[in-house]
């Protein structure tokens, strides 16, 4: 045949879109030799979570010799996929994609390395009376389905979406910008503030007001303005509590709701996708991209501390004593670790240390992952299983969610928890053997601090509570369970390193966002230590698999370098 | 009345969308359920089942079949070994493309040619005194296409022969008790196969393949999902990306093989002494550089794309539904350079893409052009970059 043969996928490290290598069989191999040779870099990134990888990739792309140091045997942090049972791939923690900044996909050329956000064609919300709300990809059918529950809510849903989209359009640019420094007198900062102000000024009044209502108010108040159907409100309000110790009736839940609506996927706001092979598949794509730009990734390399000299960061020391040197050190960990563990707090201004000590983590989420012998059954849908191709939302009313929160308020996990279920294996055949499934369930509430007990003692009972709740919606569920993996907030803290198991690297509360994330005056990714930067989820715009902190921090580092480079040149010029 | 294919009983049961279209006189599904994009992802991540039965199929055989086809088709059919197929095209004597199709060589002197439109009279008229018979066997076999990364392992459960089948290879097999021919071909730019089965045994094959696909994310796919995949793969569609020179009204509506970017079919012209229809014209075109344009890929600058809509107060649409219509391409000074014939937002590439004709001097990958698109009821000019086809080309396609 005339057509020339291309080599088999196995022969190529990064193949354009081939999924064959997505199964986790392509370890990050280029560990730098710790004993000898080159240990000096232009930049060192601590933490190979998605933000560390994004940050390192941008730095490498811009010509910096970059080393990313990851404590564990795999990259991804909270976004990993693990084969816990032969053929069964668990999204151990994070399980779906939406807020990832589109710019990152393009800048880091992720489509070359296997980026593949799979469409979730449906969302399923079972009800306690056996009925359900099932939304799909057909707009007209969705409105009929909503009308089945409330005739009023069909066009109210349109109005809600329209209003919310307008807010999203207005707010979205903030996700892609370094927050202004309102405490600075630097002319550049004043210009940034003025630009921001004028942007708000040109906005429609209703949009600004809706934005403020969402950013400061409760999800319940906002949703009650539009809807009467409990199931619809329960489903929408579920996004207002994720990762945060609030109920839908708490002020502040609106902000969490807005964050989840701000995600976008192929240009559609509020739409979520399963990345091929889970969010761990995604972070592998990031790692390949970072390596393609020349970044080195070292696994099993826990950093003990940042080395400083005369108020400047000069490198890092691993727990085993190995030192690596670089004029730029970036912490991709959360603020507590960045400021209170990796450096000596005595090197920092007291008000910053105070602010970080006050910074609230208090994780309230857990995961229970299942290997299943088959798809669960929902009695009202008979043998259908297509309802499981997206999220399965067990939060049938705002009251259900609020009662789940009540337990947490008083220091215990929910007796009937909110559950966000996802059976990615229904659409991604590489997640489980044919006919079998993996089900990720994200649980709230599971407060980090339990009153009168601890997570090591309660772990199994907590798993039983979750499974019993699932059983009540899907009779026979227990018989399908081949294996159960429970990940409490304590496990999240121990395994990923996120303090108190907070999934966002610090709570989504107004006083901890934007200008104040992680602390007033320190929201621009720098730290008081020259050359030491921060880029984890505890910086603006926060948690979720978004990549924005990593990217924005890289921008600041490059800007500072350029500035320093030009002053250095000026000095040289002056001397000559 | 519109005809139904031999798979209709199954496709009708599977098509819960109620959306159908007419293709070559047959009823085929546009999409089976709510989302064509979901079906598209089956092609890229698992496998999609597509009913390609409406293709025209001609059996061309006889002692002179090879010599006849060597003169009738642009690509050298003599290099096609028995048990293989070739994507090919046939031209008029001015080098304009009449049509394209796939030719399979079942035996030394026995071929099967597929085409989108009827071509019986065309080839029949070329036979002259050659000892060749052409038979229209369009209805004799149904064709079930299985396309996607999982297609090999699924089909290999039923027909171990496919495990080692090379790209464009052909093998006999038995599936669901039916004697079938399997070719490693398709219209998606992915790993994929087509199963050729006598019409009366089609359902048994559908059932066997669906059963083997159980629990692997395989979906029946409609024409929209197929269209998405073929645009990413740079595969041309008759009457969308080009017209048959036989029925075009003017040369502006005709395209030469070279202009369509299919010059690779005649790459070895110097070594190949065939006198095939259009050869002299191709040689002239290459020598005198008379090609008017070249069909290539375009990839939109995403930032510029979003900006146009942002500035108009709109959310930039990322609609994957292919638009099979003409859009015009300009230079920075507003001179029209060419036109695009197919465009869409590609979920795999995360960009808007198009198949377009541009002048030769601008056909170099990396060249920037402007494409005219309407934003808020007026035309604006979007940045796009000329990019080599196929735009999406996974290794597994040929590996
Ligand atoms: C259970 C759970 C479910 C979630 N679900 C979703 C979801 O579905 N969608 C979504 O968008 N977001 C979700 N999130 C949030 C999202 O996953 C996180 O916000 C995000 O992954 C955090 O990324 P990061 O890079 O900032 O930090 P991390 O992922 O925490 O990365 C930090 C990395 O640093 C490493 N590290 C720690 N200490 C050291 C050290 N001393 N030296 C070297 N390395 C070190 C850690 O091992 C880790 O790899 C979820 C989070 C959790 C926990």
Q: Are B191 and B165 in contact (CB under 8 A)?
A: no
Q: What is the pLDDT of residue A565?
A: 80
| Helix, strand or coil, per DSSP, at residue A372 | strand
SS3 content of chain A, % helix, strand, coil (to 5): 40, 15, 40
Q: What is the pLDDT of residue A199?
A: 82
B215 to chain A: which residues are within 8 Å by CB? Answer: 429, 433-436
Angle of CA points A173, A174, A178, to nearest 5°: 120
SS3 content of chain B, % helix, strand, coil (to 5): 30, 35, 40
Contact A111 B75 (CB under 8 A): no
**Test site for ligand 1: of A28, A45, A49, most ligand atoms within 8 A of the Cβ:** A49
d(CA B203, CA A183): 73
Q: Which residues line ligand 1 (CB under 6 A)?
A: A 46-52, 69-72, 77-79, 93-96, 99, 302-303, 332-333, 365, 367, 442, 492, 496-498, 503-505, 536-537, 543-545
Q: pLDDT for A140-152, tens place per residue? A: 999 999 999 999 9
Ligand 1 centroid to A270 CA: how many Å?
21
Candidate CATH numbers 3.90.1150.10, 3.40.1190.20, 2.40.30.110, 3.30.365.10; the one for domain B294-395: 2.40.30.110
Angle of CA points A268, A270, A271, to nearest 5°: 60
Q: Are B191 and B396 in contact (CB under 8 A)?
A: yes
Ligand 1 centroid to A50 CA: how many Å?
7
d(CA B306, CA B302): 6
Ligand 1 centroid to A45 CA: how many Å?
15
Q: Are strands B110-115 and B97-107 parallel, antiparallel or unpaired?
A: antiparallel
d(CA B257, CA B266): 9
B78 touches chain A (CB under 8 A): no
d(CA A372, CA B332): 58
Pair of tokens at residue B330: 């300009």
- Spatial neighbors of B105 by CB under 8 A, at least 6 apart, are B77, B80, B81, B82, B83, B84, B85, B111, B170
d(CA A181, CA A183): 5
CB atoms closer than 10 angstroms to residue A491: 19
Q: Are A137 and A121 in contact (CB under 8 A)?
A: yes
**Domain B8-52+141-221 belongs to what architecture?**
2-Layer Sandwich (3.30)
| Helix, strand or coil, per DSSP, at residue A339 | helix
Q: What is the pLDDT of residue A569?
A: 53
d(CA A480, CA A497): 32
Residue % of chain A over a pLDDT of 70: 91
Gyration radius of chain B over CA positions: 21
- Spatial neighbors of A155 by CB under 8 A, at least 6 apart, are A143
Q: pLDDT for A356-377, tens place per residue? A: 999 999 999 999 999 999 999 9
Q: What is the pLDDT of residue A531?
A: 98
Q: What is the pLDDT of residue B136?
A: 98
Rounded mean pLDDT of A58-84? 98
Q: Report the Cα–Cα distance between both ends of chain B, in Å, rounded.
A: 43
d(CA A550, CA A338): 14
- Please identify among residues 90-129 of chain A the ones whose CB lies closer than 8 Å to any CB of chain B: 102, 105-106, 110-111, 115-119, 121
Q: What is the pLDDT of residue A564?
A: 86
Q: pLDDT for A145-193, tens place per residue? A: 999 999 999 999 999 999 999 999 999 999 999 999 888 888 888 888 8
Taking CB atoms within 8 Å and a gap of at least 24, the contacts of B335-343 are B337/B362, B337/B369, B338/B293, B338/B362, B338/B369, B340/B298, B340/B371, B341/B240, B341/B241, B341/B242, B342/B227, B342/B231, B342/B237, B342/B240, B342/B241, B343/B231, B343/B298
Least confident of A25-34, A51-60, B305-314: A25-34
- Please identify among residues 277-306 of chain B the ones whose CB lies closer than 8 Å to any CB of chain A: 302-303
Q: According to the 3-state scheme, what is the secondary structure of A172-186?
A: HHHHCCCCCCCCCCC
**So what's the ipTM on this one?**
0.95
Q: According to the 3-state scheme, what is the secondary structure of A134-199?
A: EECCCHHHHHHHHHHHCHHHHHHHHHHHHHHHHHHHHHHHHHCCCCCCCCCCCHHHHHHHHHHHHH
| Helix, strand or coil, per DSSP, at residue B227 | helix
Rounded mean pLDDT of A366-391? 97
pLDDT confidence of A33, banded at 50, 70, 90?
low
Q: Which CATH class is domain A43-80+99-113+276-360+504-563?
A: alpha beta
Q: Which of residues B149 and A24 earns the better pLDDT score?
A: B149
d(CA B231, CA A210): 41
Candidate CATH numbers 3.90.660.20, 3.30.70.2740, 1.10.3720.10, 3.40.50.460; the one for domain A121-138+365-445+447-487: 3.90.660.20
**Residue in the structure block whose two tokens are 């003990």:** A304
A453 to A408, B206, B248, B386: CA distances (angstroms): 13, 58, 82, 64
Contact A5 B399 (CB under 8 A): yes
pLDDT confidence of A416, banded at 50, 70, 90?
very high
pLDDT confidence of A18, banded at 50, 70, 90?
very low
d(CA A43, CA A560): 13
pTM for the full predicted model: 0.94
Q: With 60 as the cut, is the pLDDT of residue A238 above it?
A: yes
**A230-238 and A151-175 helices cross at what angle (nearest 10)?**
10
- Please identify among residues 256-295 of chain A the ones whose CB lies closer than 8 Å to any CB of chain B: 266-269, 276
Angle of CA points A58, B352, A13, to nearest 5°: 45
A262 to A171, A438, A494, B320: CA distances (angstroms): 8, 28, 30, 21
**Test site for ligand 1: of A243, A321, A503, most ligand atoms within 8 A of the Cβ:** A503
A129 to A145, A164, A391: CA distances (angstroms): 17, 30, 20
The per-residue pLDDT string of chain B (399 residues; one tens digit each, 9 = 90 and over) reads 999 999 999 999 999 999 999 999 999 999 999 999 999 999 999 999 999 999 999 999 999 999 999 999 999 999 999 999 999 999 999 999 999 999 999 999 999 999 999 999 999 999 999 999 999 999 999 999 999 999 999 999 999 999 999 999 999 999 999 999 999 999 999 999 999 999 999 999 999 999 999 999 999 999 999 999 999 999 999 999 999 999 999 999 999 999 999 999 999 898 899 999 999 999 999 999 999 999 999 999 999 999 999 999 999 999 999 998 899 999 999 999 999 999 999 999 999 999 999 999 999 999 999 999 999 999 999 999 999 999 999 999 999
Contact A18 B167 (CB under 8 A): no
State yes or no: cis peptide before B390, omega within 30 of 0: yes
| Dihedral (CA of A236, A238, A242, A247) sign | positive
Q: pLDDT for A427-446, tens place per residue? A: 999 999 999 999 999 999 99
Pair of tokens at residue A458: 């309660």
A551 to A52, A94, A294, A331, B50: CA distances (angstroms): 9, 20, 17, 13, 42
Q: What is the pLDDT of residue A568?
A: 58
* Domain range annotation of chain B: 8-52+141-221, 63-131+256-291, 294-395
Torsion of CA B176, B180, B181, B187, to 10 degrees: -60
**Residue in the structure block whose two tokens are 């001015």:** B94
b/e per residue, A541-561, with b = 16+ CB within 10 A? Answer: bbbbbbbbbbbbbbebbbebb
Q: What is the pLDDT of residue A28?
A: 53
Q: pLDDT for A475-510, tens place per residue? A: 999 999 999 999 999 999 999 999 999 999 999 999
φ, ψ of residue B298 to 5 degrees: the values are: -125, 140
d(CA B105, CA B113): 9
Closest C-alpha residue for ligand 1 atom 38: A497
Q: What is the pLDDT of residue B84?
A: 98
Measured in whole angstroms, the distance separating CA A184 from the mean position of its chain's CA atoms is 30
* Domain range annotation of chain A: 43-80+99-113+276-360+504-563, 121-138+365-445+447-487, 151-270
Which residue of chain B is at minimal alpha-carbon distance from A112?
B349
Same fold? B63-131+256-291, B294-395 = no
B315 to chain A: which residues are within 8 Å by CB? Answer: 165, 169, 267, 269
* Nearest alpha-carbon partner for B57 in B170, B140, B178: B140
Q: pLDDT for A315-350, tens place per residue? A: 999 999 999 999 999 999 999 999 999 999 999 999
* Nearest alpha-carbon partner for B174 in B198, B152, B148: B198
* Averaged pLDDT of chain A: 92
d(CA A219, CA A290): 38
Q: With 80 as the cut, is the pLDDT of residue A575 above it?
A: no
φ, ψ of residue A335 to 5 degrees: the values are: -60, -35
d(CA A28, CA A488): 28
Q: Give the strands of the sheet with B219-220, arranged side by side.
A: B170-175, B178-183, B192-198, B141-147, B48-51, B219-220
CATH topology assigned to domain B63-131+256-291:
Alpha-Beta Plaits (3.30.70)
d(CA B99, CA B90): 6
- Spatial neighbors of A15 by CB under 8 A, at least 6 apart, are A9, A21, A114, B394, B395
């Amino acid at each position: 045949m005339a057509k020339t043969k291309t080599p088999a996928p196995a022969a190529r490290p990064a193949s354009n879109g081939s999924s064959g290598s997505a199964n986790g069989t392509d370890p990050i191999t280029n560990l730098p030799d710790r004993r000898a040779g080159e240990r000096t870099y232009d930049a060192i990134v601590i933490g190979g979570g998605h933000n560390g990888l994004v940050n390192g990739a941008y730095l490498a792309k811009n010509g910096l010799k970059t080393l990313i140091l990851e404590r564990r045997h795999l990259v991804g942090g909270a976004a990993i996929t693990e084969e816990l049972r032969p053929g069964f791939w668990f999204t151990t923690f994070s399980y779906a994609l939406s807020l990832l900044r589109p710019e990152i996909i393009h800048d880091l050329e992720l489509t070359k390395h296997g980026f593949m956000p799979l469409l979730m064609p449906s969302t399923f919300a079972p009800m306690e009376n056996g009925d359900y709300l099932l939304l799909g990809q057909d707009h007209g059918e969705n409105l009929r389905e909503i009308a089945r529950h409330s005739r009023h809510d069909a066009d109210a849903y349109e109005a809600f979406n329209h209003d919310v989209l307008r807010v999203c359009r207005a707010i979205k640019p903030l996700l892609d910008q370094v927050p202004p420094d309102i405490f600075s007198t630097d002319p550049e900062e004043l210009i940034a503030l003025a630009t921001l102000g004028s942007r708000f000024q040109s906005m429609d009044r209703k949009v600004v007001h809706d934005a403020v209502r969402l950013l400061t108010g409760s999800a319940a108040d906002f949703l009650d303005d539009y809807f009467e159907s409990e199931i619809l409100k329960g489903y929408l309000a579920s996004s207002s509590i994720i990762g945060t110790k609030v109920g839908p009736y708490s002020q502040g839940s609106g902000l969490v709701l807005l964050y989840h609506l701000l995600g976008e996927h192929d240009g559609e706001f509020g739409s979520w996708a399963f990345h091929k092979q889970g969010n761990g598949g995604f972070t592998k794509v990031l790692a390949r991209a970072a390596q393609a730009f020349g970044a080195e990734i070292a696994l099993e390399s826990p950093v003990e501390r940042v080395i400083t000299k005369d108020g400047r960061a000069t490198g890092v020391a691993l727990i085993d004593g190995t030192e690596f040197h670089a004029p730029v050190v970036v912490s991709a960990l959360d603020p507590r670790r960045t400021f209170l563990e990796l450096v000596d707090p005595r090197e920092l201004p007291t008000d910053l240390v105070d602010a970080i000590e006050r910074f609230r983590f208090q994780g309230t989420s857990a995961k229970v992952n299942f290997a299943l012998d088959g798809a669960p059954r929902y009695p009202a849908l008979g043998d259908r299983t297509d309802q499981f191709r997206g999220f399965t939302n067990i939060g049938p009313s705002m009251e259900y969610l609020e009662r789940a929160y009540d337990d947490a308020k008083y220091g215990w996990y929910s007796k009937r928890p909110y559950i966000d279920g996802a059976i990615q294996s229904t659409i991604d055949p590489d997640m489980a053997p044919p006919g079998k499934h993996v089900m990720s369930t994200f649980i709230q509430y599971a407060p980090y601090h339990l009153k009168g007990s601890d997570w090591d003692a309660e772990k199994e009972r907590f798993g039983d509570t979750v499974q019993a709740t699932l059983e009540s919606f899907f009779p026979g569920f227990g018989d399908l369970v081949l294996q159960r993996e429970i990940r409490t907030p304590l496990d999240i803290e121990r395994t990923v390193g996120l303090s108190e198991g907070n999934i966002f690297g610090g709570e989504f509360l107004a006083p901890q966002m934007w200008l104040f994330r992680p602390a007033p005056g320190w929201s621009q990714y720098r730290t008081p230590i020259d050359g030491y930067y921060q880029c984890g989820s505890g910086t603006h715009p926060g948690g979720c698999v978004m990549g924005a902190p990593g990217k924005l921090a890289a921008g600041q580092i490059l800007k500072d370098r350029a500035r320093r480079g030009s002053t250095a040149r000026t000095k040289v010029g002056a001397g000559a | 009345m519109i005809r139904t294919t031999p798979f209709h009983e199954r496709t009708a049961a599977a098509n819960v969308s109620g959306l159908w279209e007419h293709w070559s006189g047959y009823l085929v599904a546009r999409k089976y359920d709510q989302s064509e994009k979901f079906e598209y992802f089956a092609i890229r991540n698992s496998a999609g089942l597509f009913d390609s039965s409406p293709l025209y199929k001609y059996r061309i055989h006889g002692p002179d079949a090879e010599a006849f086809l060597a003169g009738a088709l642009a690509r050298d059919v003599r290099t096609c070994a028995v048990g293989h197929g070739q994507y090919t095209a046939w031209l008029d004597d001015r080098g304009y493309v009449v049509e394209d199709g796939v030719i399979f060589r079942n035996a030394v002197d026995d071929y099967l040619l597929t085409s989108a439109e009827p071509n019986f009279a065309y080839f029949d008229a070329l036979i002259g005194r050659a000892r060749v018979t052409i038979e229209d066997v369009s209805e004799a076999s149904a064709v079930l296409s299985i396309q996607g990364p999982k297609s090999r392992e699924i089909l290999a459960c039923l027909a171990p022969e496919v495990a080692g089948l090379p790209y464009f290879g052909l093998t006999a097999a038995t599936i669901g008790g039916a004697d079938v021919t399997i070719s490693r071909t398709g219209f998606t730019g992915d790993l994929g196969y087509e199963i050729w089965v006598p019409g009366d045994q089609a359902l048994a094959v559908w059932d066997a393949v669906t059963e083997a696909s159980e629990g692997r994310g395989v979906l029946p796919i409609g024409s929209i999902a197929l269209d998405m995949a073929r645009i990413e793969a740079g595969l041309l569609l008759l009457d969308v990306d080009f017209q048959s020179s036989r029925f075009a009204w003017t040369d502006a509506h005709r395209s030469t093989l070279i202009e369509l970017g299919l010059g690779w079919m005649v790459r070895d012209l110097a070594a190949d002494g065939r006198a095939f229809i259009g050869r002299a014209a191709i040689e002239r075109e290459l020598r005198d550089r008379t090609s008017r344009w070249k069909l290539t890929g375009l990839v939109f600058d995403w930032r510029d794309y979003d900006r146009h809509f942002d500035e108009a107060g709109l959310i930039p649409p990322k609609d994957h539904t292919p638009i099979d219509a003409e859009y015009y391409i300009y230079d920075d000074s507003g001179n029209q350079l060419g036109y695009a014939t197919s465009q869409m937002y590609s979920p795999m590439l995360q960009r808007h893409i198009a198949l377009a004709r541009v002048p030769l001097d601008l056909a170099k990958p990396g060249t920037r052009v402007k494409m005219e698109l309407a934003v808020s009821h007026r035309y604006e000019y979007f940045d796009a970059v000329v990019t080599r086809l196929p735009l999406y080309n996974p290794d597994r396609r040929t590996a």
